[in-house]
Amino acid sequence: MSQDSLNVAQESRGEFEAVTRPDFAKIRAQFPILQQTENGQPLVYLDSGATSQKPLAVIEALDTYYRQQNANVHRGVYGLSERATELYEGSRETVRQFINAESTREIVFVRGTTEAINLVAHSWARSNMQAGDEIIVTEMEHHSNIVPWQLLRDQLGIHLRVLKINPAGEICLNDLKNMVSEKTKLLAITHMSNALGSINPVKEMTEIAHSVGAKVLVDGAQATPHMAVDVQDIDCDFYALSGHKMYGPTGIGVLYAKEALLEAMPPYQGGGDMIYSVTFDKTEYNVLPYKFEAGTPHIAGAIGLAAAVKFLQSIGLNHIAAYEAELLAYATDRLKQIKGLRMIGEAQHKGGVLSFIIEGVHPHDMATLMDQDGVAVRASHHCAMPVMQYYNVPATVRASLGVYNNRDDIDRLVASIEEAKEMLI
């Protein structure tokens, strides 16, 4: 890649933003849902880890598509279909730039991170693993990066090994170095934990796995809304992301995979658009990435995802990371002043997730009462039950941050916790 091309790619990922800090109050104003009330109180939305709210740019992109551009893609020769195809494939290029993939052939549209991981499990892993081989996951993984490998273990006789975390919610690179061997075929790791906020050193972990010939899959669902991601720099073999976590529509996501791997992998599903020719004797598959996109795709979702990417790029990923780090520090300090509150997950390198419990109070009761104040937080195991088991808690209250949150939201959060605590203890 030339230096000019590299600069363009870096700008698209938010590495060379203007020095001027964005006005995050104006950014917040772009989210219509935040203007409404809940139970008579202004809405404080602190559940972006589950799904983010959508800016006007995304809402309008979806509306425009359905009002003016709706047609099926790839096979139509009339103008409307050709324009829809151009938008759909343009979205693929937008995502390619966003994560710095080498080619659009490496960008497969899927329903989300869960489907992306299952695609790798059913296609790559089934074709490349056998009884006795090992997959390593971390103790902080989302169920979507555990259950597919357990299914494979039960069916193929492979071994699933777990890289432990420490009390702060961090992994140790030396532990991984001691765990990998010639039996290790895949390292499947989260970039940022949805339950703890811990940000893993995925580049260094990838180097360790590659040293024994293993492939690496990174679950980037939580990372992509909060930080610049460069898959070529990480050098991972697979990277999965979800649109709805990064201010885009639900039901759309991306599997990035190195082109050589995708070329060798068999299709995950059969149907229209993933074929080149079909007879009753034989089917020839389409070229990449269409070999893995059977049936009519989520066209509007891809267009909305591209709008979300452009929204993030307009702010700058580095600006977002800096702003959210400041907000996280403020929130952490305020929460630690609450008597009886125990933080769950205090990694040094951490994103905007605040998981906690109040001694003597069930998280569900806490979150239910906080809803009466218009404060939306999640109380659950967060699809990370092994994390809850590690900390010996049934669930946590989780406040997860987005670009639209501010210090007023944190002050409302703290006041609501204190009020609910008085009622419950």
Reported residue count of the chain is 425
For 161, phi then psi, to 5°, come to -110, 150
Instruction: Name, in order, each residue with C-beta under 8 angstroms of 412's C-beta and a sequence gap of 6 or more.
Output: 44, 373, 374, 375
Give the C-alpha separation, 220 to 105, whole Å: 19
Q: Are 49 and 222 in contact, with CB atoms under 8 Å apart?
A: yes
DSSP character string of 23-75: -HHHHHTT-GGGGSEETTEE-EE-BTTT-----HHHHHHHHHIIIII----SS
Active site annotation includes 236: no
Give the rounded distance of the alpha carbon of 320 from its chain centre: 16
Please identify which of the residues 29, 212, 383, 415 carries the catalytic annotation.
383
Left, alpha or beta for 295 (phi > 0: left; psi -120 to 50: alpha)? Answer: left
Rounded to whole angstroms, the Cα distance separating 85 from 72 reads 8
Q: Where would I find the beta strands (DSSP E) of 63-183?
A: 107-110, 134-138, 159-163
d(CA 12, CA 202): 21
List beta partners, residue 397: 356, 379
Residues that are catalytic: 383
